[in-house]
Amino acid sequence: MPKAVGIDLGTTNSVVAATMEGGKVEVIPNAEGQRITPSVVAFTEDGQRLVGQVAKRQAILNPEATVYSAKRFIGRKWGEVDEEAKIVSYKVATGPNDAVRFEIRGKQYAPEEISALILRKLAEDAGKFLG
């Protein structure tokens, strides 16, 4: 049984690790068997939300609906992200109170929502691994 679990939500990749019995720290593999998970979320035409490596694969065929580097936009206002908005393939829009939103398939998502989907996947993968 782990003593502590920690998550590193990165801009490009994310990792989850646990301190096991005896103080050994172990990086937990995701469902795909990798020890890092791309911090990417893709929304398919049929309404699926894909997270991680499977989402990253969508970036070529589905660039306008694949969100990456969401962490760069957290807590920032629309007027602060001009340069970042120009270099991503998805639409960055303004939301309530001039907050940053991502417009994907007609719906707006906050950067925090995208990050929450990534965190949820990491937690699920850790739960399956640790039992």
1, pLDDT greater than 80: no
For the stretch 77-121, pLDDT in tens is 999 999 999 999 999 999 999 999 999 999 999 999 999 999 999
Q: Tokens for 3?
A: 């003593």
pLDDT band at 2 (very low <50, low <70, confident <90, very high): low
Answer for the pair 101, 95: CB distance below 8 angstroms, yes or no: yes
- What's the whole-number mean pLDDT along residues 47-75? 96
Give the residue among 27, 58, 28 at the shortest CA–CA distance from 40.
58
Look at residues 1, 43, 44, 14 and name the one whose alpha carbon lies nearest to residue 125.
Answer: 14
| CATH level 3 topology of 4-130 | Nucleotidyltransferase; domain 5 (3.30.420)
Q: Which sequence spans correspond to the domains of the chain?
A: 4-130
| pLDDT score for 68 | 98
Q: Indicate the pTM of the whole model.
A: 0.93
